[in-house]
Amino acid sequence: MSEPPRQLDLLDAARAVQRAATDGDIDTLHGEVCRLRNALVEHVAGCDLGDDGGVQRRLARHGQQRLLHFIDELLSTTHESAESCTCLVRGAELRSLLIRQLRLEAVASTSEALR
């Protein structure tokens, strides 16, 4: 089995989403959002946050689920025309949410290492 995507890989995928959104390329945008979602699922599966732990770990796990839900919602509300597709605006929001999530995971990992 291959190694789960690292945080930098996820940020690269998020940049591709934002670039496609900026270009107004809906087909590419939808493909990049799917690619990011798949990478995030692999990342979450390989992320060792465990079922127990402190507040930071619970927040990070909750954030992972919220981010996946956001992406699923984004993908379920896509449309063929740029005028009716909210994914163009929400693509930039997705990158911000991912950065927030990666910070939560970093804090959770650091707090666990200090124990």
Token representation of residue 107: 């804090």
Can you read off the two tokens belonging to residue 27? 């087909």
Q: Could you tell me if 55 and 17 are in contact, meaning their C-beta atoms sit under 8 angstroms apart?
A: no
pLDDT tens digits in sequence order for the chain, 115 residues long: 567 678 889 999 999 998 988 888 888 988 999 999 999 999 998 887 666 668 888 888 899 999 999 999 888 876 665 565 677 778 778 989 999 999 998 888 876 555 5
* Predicted model pTM: 0.82
Q: Cβ distance 47 to 4 under 8 Å?
A: yes
